[in-house]
Structures are given as C-alpha cells and as structure tokens.
Amino acid sequence: MIAYYLALKLKAYLKELRRLLRILLTLVLLITSLTYGRLFAELIIEISSGDIRFLTSTQAFHYLFGAIFILTLLRMIFPSYKMQKSLLPGYLPLSRFQHYSLSLLSDFISPYFFYIFIFLGTATLFIETDQIEFLASGLTILVSSHLIRRLLQYVLDFSLRRTGHIISFLTWVATAYVIFMTPFISEFRLLQGVILLIALVISGFLVDSTKISNEINKRKIRIRRQNMYLKLILNNPKARMPLLIAIIFKLLFLGGDYFVNQAKGTHFFDGEFIYWLFASPLILFTYIFNNVWGFWRSIWFNYELRCGRYSGLIRQSLRILIMPILIDILVTLPILLLMWNNNQFILIYYFVCAFFLIPLSMVWSLLTPVKIKSNFQMRGSTSMMSIMSSLAGVFLLVTLNINYWFYILIPVLPAISTFAAWYSMDLYKERKYQLMKKLFGN
C-alpha cells in the first residue's frame, strides 16, 4: 500500500509536466541545481589547489551544510505556512510505524528535495576528495533539518498526549544542546550527524504515536488557543515577512560573528555599542511590535467592538509577542553565551531589554500607530519616535558592560516603561478614536 501510494504521488507530479510553463520551470531549476553544484565543486578544487587561501574546504562544506539546514527549516513558513497532515486515517490496517514511514517518505517526494539532491550529487561528482563523506553529510543534514521541522509541527498542528509533549520538549533540548553547545556547527562530523538523525527518527515516531485522531479532538485542534496566536503571525503576510527578515538578519549576524570569532578571535564592530544593539531583541520592536495594532488591526477592531477593555488588548498583544520572543531567545542567547565569558551581563542585559521594550511597545502602538499597506513597508512600519525611544533605552543598558555603577538602571528603565503602559490604559478612552481613524482611514 505504501509503495502504491508513493507511486501515485510520483505519477501525479509527472502529469503536471505536460504543461509548457511547468516544463520550462522544471528545466530552469534543474539547470540551476546542476550549475551551482558544478560551481561549488570548482570552488573546492581551487581551495585545494591553493588559489583561494582565505577559506578552507572544510569551512566551505560547513557553510554549505549550515545553509541547507536553515533553508529546510524556513520552508515551514516561507512562502506560506503549510500544515502537516495525516495522510491516511488511523483505522486502516497499517502499523504505527507504517503510518509514520508513509508520512515521512511522502515528504521527501517533493521538488525541493529533488533539486537539493541534484545539487549535492553534481558537486559530489566533481570534487576530488571526500566525495562519499560529503554526499552522506549533506543528505544527513538535509534529512535531520526536515525531521526537526516535523517535530515542531507535531506540536503546532496536532493534539498530542502529554507523553508526546514531553518527548518533543526533551528532543528539542537535546538537539539545541548538540547544535549550540558543542562544536557541531563549526566541526561537523558525519558520525555525530548520523546519531542525531537516528535520534530524531525515533523521537518523531514516538511523538507521531501519541497523536489523538478522533473527531472530537480534530475539532479541538482548530480552536486551540496556543495555536491561534501563532497562526495570527504565520497567516499574516504583512507581519510574517518583516518578522522573517528580522530573524534571518539576526541569525546571519550572530552566526557570522560566531565564525569570525572562531577563526580570528574578534567580533563584529569590535563588540562595542552597536554590536549589542543587534544582540538585543530591539529589532523585533522596531520592525513590528512598536506598532502591533497596525499589523493586527482586525484583532484590535473586533476586540474593541466586543469588549472595549484596554487591559484585554494588552493580554492579546502579549500572546502574539510570546512566540517571536522565544524564537529570538533561542537564536540569540546560545550563540552569545558560547562566544562571551560574561554570562551575567549577557543574561541581565537581554532580559532587562525585553522587560523595557515590551511595555513600551504597548504605549507606542497606541500613541503612534502606522497603517501597514504592503507586505514589507519600506517607508517604515513603526514610528520614528518609537524607534528613537527604544534605541535610547537599549543604549543606556549597554553601559552595564562599562561599569557596575550602571546596574542601577536595571530596575529604573523597566519600571518607567511599565508605568507608561499602565498610564496608557487611561489614555485609551481618548486615543481609540484616533487609532480607528489612523488604521482604517484613507
């Protein structure tokens, strides 16, 4: 049955090639994969011959594997979020492992994996050393990244028993430790990758076995509150695009700084004031959350019509904010703690910045709203006043790294921003009319 299903899926894809536009697109992507595979092999050959000295072949392999890993994860939300589905109902006479195997194999019959395999295969044919290890390592990274993505989507898209949530959490902790707290990124070894791959397959199977699939729980999935706020981000292109750009930029900045630090022992901007601006969660607020109701104006409008309580709107904004903040923490803190010895400063600085910026964002979202007209608004998605105030506060907190006397700012700035958010509750009765005019006006 599994082989028959896979054959049908492959046949359906081949039928689409009858259209001229589909044929041309397939040829373009195929030629692109072959070309880039050949170019990467040429790069490795030139490095081996000594023509390129600023990069070693091992570093080039690691950069490529890192790019494949990140791209495979980003497929979950780019260009749009696609829910993971159960392909066959549970009452069919298949074992749990067969259900899981079918779902997993079905994922790999897709154009993305086909073109990545073509790229890796082409590069393998032309590089002169470590061909088998390179291909095996690339495929291991590709499959591992996809399994990590599936593990996250089990939690987001299905109703799981408590055991499933526990297994998912433990697997995420172990995976994060392997990736960030060991030389896994900078010194990838095939054996490490294979062990991680096997662990992810077993974990995925165990979590898949804990799915609750009866009709009552299917209806519950659609209204689960913890999923609703994530979907408010994923299904909102005006918020999803700048948020994705912000996270990718921060990941590239910190990842690049990590590799520079490992290679040369230095940091971007010499680790001075500007560096710590990028290390803070500031970019989330200057891109999006200083104008939360500009991005989710329908949420504000519906809540105002039905309740009209500003305290409830604060809770709604916090629920939308929590997932991006958690992602930013997972991206930022492990890399900073690996590179810097001053763990006390890093932890205090990051979390005090968050406690300062979050209440302040509620104030600016009310006082200086900006209407969002496109998926990535080049003229500014938040007000200049909110950007400058956020920058000023984060700049002051960077002084914690200069002298211990500046630790006096730790309770002061969050207290000021919290008081401002509390005071805005009184202003809301007047400001909601200006908010309506700004967000829904011409």
Q: What is the pLDDT of residues 170-180, one digit of tens each?
A: 888 888 777 76
**Cα–Cα dist 135/147, whole Å:** 18
Residue of higher predicted confidence among 399 and 241: 399
What is the pLDDT confidence band of residue 34, given thresholds at 50, 70 and 90?
very high
Tens digit of each residue's pLDDT (9 = 90 or more) over 295-333: 998 888 888 888 878 888 888 888 899 889 988 998 898
Q: Tell me the one-letter amino acid at 377.
A: Q
Average pLDDT score over residue span 377-405: 85
> Which DSSP string corresponds to 109-139?
SSHHHHHHHHHHHHHHHH-SSSHHHHHHHHH
- What predicted TM-score, i.e. pTM, was given to this entire model? 0.58
Residue 98: its H or E element: helix 96-108
Distances (CA, A) of 337 to 175, 398, 402: 17, 16, 18
Q: Tell me the one-letter amino acid at 428.
A: Y
Residue 215 has pLDDT above 50, yes or no: no
Bond from prior residue into 79 cis (ω within 30 degrees of 0)? yes
- Token readout for 435 is 């908010």
Q: Considering only CA atoms, which of 2, 223, 39, 205 is closest in space to residue 119?
A: 39
